[in-house]
A and B are shown apart, each in its own frame.
Chain A
Amino acid sequence: MMQKIKIEIGEVIETIESFYKPKVWHFLTLNGVSLDANKLEVQWIFSRYEALDDIVIYYVEISYETLIPSITELIPSAIISQRELVDMFGVCVEGSEKGLYLDEDSMQKPLAGCSI
């Protein structure tokens, strides 16, 4: 079962802090979905340990200019998918540098607005 819950950008930290229990929920990844040239859906995806396909997605709809809060204080391993999101969509995630995936001379933010 996949559950998708919309939240506001200002509620991200508070929501994930109250939801995430490291021995119950497994953080899968951070995902971006381009909605149009200016708008992006950012998803935080979790699955429950040892449960049959129990997936929870928290998501926000934001513009590309919005600063996305970092969840690495709560989930240290999120740093890698935060940096991927920065490279692939050209967004700003608090404390996440660009350049993990893409070199300066390669195509930049390749997934920004590409699906439409």
Chain B
Amino acid sequence: MSKKTINIPLGSQHISLLEPVRFKFECENETIVGVDSDVGFVHRGVERACTTKFKYDTIGYVVARICGLCAITHSMSYTAGVEKLLEAQITQKAKYLRMLLLELDRIHSHMLCLSHTAESAGFEAMFMRIMGDREDVMQIQELLTGNRIQFDYVSIGGVNRDIDTLRAKEIALQLAKLQKKIYGYIEEFENNWSLSLKFKGVGGLSLEKAYMFNAIGPLARAAGLAIDVRNEIDYLPYKEIGFKMQTGSGGDIHARNTVRLNEILNSIEMCQNILEGLPEGEIFTKVKGKPQGETVVRYEAPRGELMYYIKGNKTAILERVRIKTPTFSCIPAFSDIFLNQSYADAPAILASFDPCLSCTAK
């Protein structure tokens, strides 16, 4: 006799979701045995707009609007692609300032994910504690760029705002305070009984499957797959500022949390190194010409590898801008992870993916 299954949807609007995505779970009793996903609820036509409505020198600001959380990574990737096509050389100081903001962005994005993961385990106090501390990072970003979220900090040729000694000191001070708090989180996520019960051994991804599904970001690194674009590019000198690859094992929710916490510590360390060793010089170099040819540029966004393919024809309007976002790449892996898990764990597993549908459906 065949077993009876029931279909239970999660989304497109659901209490555990921040953005619209729909997973349709086929369940045998409490166990998920089949998954179908739908990600196309907020498609905004950004790729089309980039080749029909905007000139190449404004697109960096357009693509930043794809996502509030990784705005800097989008504008950075696009800008680096155009600079590559134009063979532009930017100053070392501009590169360091770009890395500073990229890492600050990673810190607050990971903190957002950790807070929601704690919330999904019913640990409201931890959610509020992390969100409260995250606010300090938002203020650092405002101090550096003038804005909390949409920075418009990067432009073709460099960055738009310099940092003075007073601001640099204040940022270093705030980061040192945050560093201590992160050690407290690590202790909590490692040893708290309710977080352990909800996260350890739940929602795992094996290393073999991480390769099979081309997983990226903290999802892949928690499974032991050492993939981080910061390790595979040379247009930003990540090795100079102390980048260290963070990997885990087991690939469960706990491993993903641990990888994110260790990455926050490494990002803080990198920011401190940038502030201590910030090169002298200009922050902007004038770039001439119009993009011609094609290029692929990748950056490590908080959720993993972000890819831009840019094709220009020596006019102000580009022929193609292709944006491959991290969450989009991970959808097949997400679906596989849900299989054989309890439906009751689905919200916590989903929160640990840190999905960004705003990016996915760009």
Contact = CB atoms under 8 A, between A and B. Distances in A.
Interface of A: 2, 22-23, 26-29, 31-34, 43, 45, 47, 49-53, 55, 57, 75-77, 79-81, 84, 87-88, 99-103, 106-107, 110-111, 114-116
Contacts of B331: 80
Contacts of A52: 232-234
Contacts of B43: 101-102, 106
Contact of A110 (B38, B40, B48, B234): B48
Interface stretch (B98-106, B188-196, B206-214): B206-214
| In the A-B complex, the 5 residue pairs with the closest CB atoms | A101-B40, A77-B332, A29-B324, A115-B319, A77-B214
Main SS of the interface on chain B?
Answer: mixed
Contact of A76 (B213, B234, B324, B328): B213
A53 B52 contact: no
A45 B40 CA distance: 23
A88 B328 CA distance: 15
Most A C-beta atoms less than 10 A away, residue of B47, B52, B226, B309: B309
B47 A29 contact: no
Interface of B: 38-40, 43, 45, 47-48, 51-52, 211-214, 216, 226-227, 231-234, 295-296, 298, 305, 307, 309, 311, 318-320, 322, 324, 328-329, 331-333, 361
Contacts, number: 96
Contacts of A80: 328-329, 331-332
B361 A45 contact: no
A73 to B, nearest CB: 12
A22 B213 CA distance: 9
Nearest to B209: A76
A76 B336 CA distance: 11
B307 A100 contact: no
Contact of B232 (A32, A51, A76, A87): A51
A51 B216 CA distance: 15
B217 to A, nearest CB: 12
A79 B48 contact: no
B206 to A, nearest CB: 13
A88 B322 CA distance: 11
B39 A101 contact: yes
B224 to A, nearest CB: 12
Contacts of B333: 77
A27 B40 contact: no
Contact of B307 (A29, A51, A77, A110): A29
Contact of B38 (A29, A32, A100): A100
